[in-house]
Structure 1
């Protein structure tokens, strides 16, 4: 008899209302992958974009769909020829595969070994689940821009998941960080090591007041006119990396699409265990409230991450 598990499933593309907590067959680990018993799953804006069908032009998405890319859990079983992990290992990762269909909003998920790493021991399960996608995105954006010690980095939407990770990673690399956020998040940014500025009209002038000689790197986590404003301030207008604006390259900057890289996950775990990177969990909800998590994420006022508790 096939083992069963609880999972959040969308049988059609649409809004949060298409999500249903139901029972489905438990997957089995194949070659090069492991079966992870999920402890917690991170919620990211890309999750509800996938469910809405917005990513169909960029990803191969199958129905019925179990959303979710971020995971923290315990290896339940290993597939053929897997030597990287053993049963009982505590792992975290960004489980993105060539076909997006069976994600992390479930009691178990099959994950290719290159999408996982051993989780940081200094973080709890919720924080570990909130780290992979935002951490990888922030790290890969900063690397793409060639961020180095002594440079000044502008992070747009710095209180969000990717933004707050980018602030901490840049600070850990010896950079000075200026971060945009609403005034209610300014103290939060200071606690991460950033100098906060309010976003909106007049942003360029407010940043110039802090950095009269200009900035070296900009990370855009919000879209809109962030790339254009950044290029007004950059010493080299090509050193802006957007995670939102897919035509940033046409403006002389860069757009990145986050990649699951186990060595990058190892670097994030090392930063966390060194006390240089933490994840603020804005809210933790049970798996049954995944639709509520989507609604909250869509509102766009999340400080840090939303996480689903699974086990």
Structure 2
């Protein structure tokens, strides 16, 4: 049927081929070991954070709620790509179904949008905690946190649903080979035999708007925090609690921005570098986030140690 030939990639096959990291020799096998190790660390680290927050009643304040949201998003993000990447590196199983590819694309890009929203929520939390400590519980109550979480999810959907419709509506009658380790949007639309520029411009504009808006509000939050703590020694201790959040911000935004613009405008950047950068952008922060928070947040660190070394034995 005409509609099938319009939507399906290449001839009668309804699948794409993921290249992985385009490099010769045994390098992909070594990358598989690195990504598998990182994936295990991510699962264990974020799982422990969620378990500790879930079991410890003292960890019910807003920052820990946002940390739990971040852990869930990281688990969804990394699980949507790493298992398939490992099958490419180790099993040479590069084929991915047509619909599975677009589902993966949706999950990857919606979770990156949601993660940026959670990082903004954490910055707002630090602002309220330091600048308005007496009103902290009243401002960031459970209802407000629920509304913030809902707004983060809705924004991600409002960004991704139109993009997914645009991408799935393109005819894929050229090559099925995606020069990437996962179904990244820009790598995918390059295979269309129609003009991919509308979806590409929408993606870059939407990503730039989300990231730019979030970074602007984060900068304003930290500017007001600095204004509050300057000259007040008692407040510098509170400001030091922002250290782990600042580390996570750098881990997420710096490689993310470089990856987005390298994909769209980096004609001088090799495909190998673009693919590897995009892979690290999604996997490295998800692995390091729980480590950063566990090392720098006293309550989380103590709760983890208590969980690991408790002498109580459950019957």
Greater relative contact order (CA < 8 Å, ≥ 6 in sequence): 2
Higher share in helix: 2
Greater C-alpha radius of gyration: 2
TM category (shorter chain) comes to: under 0.3
* TM-score, normalization by structure 2: 0.26
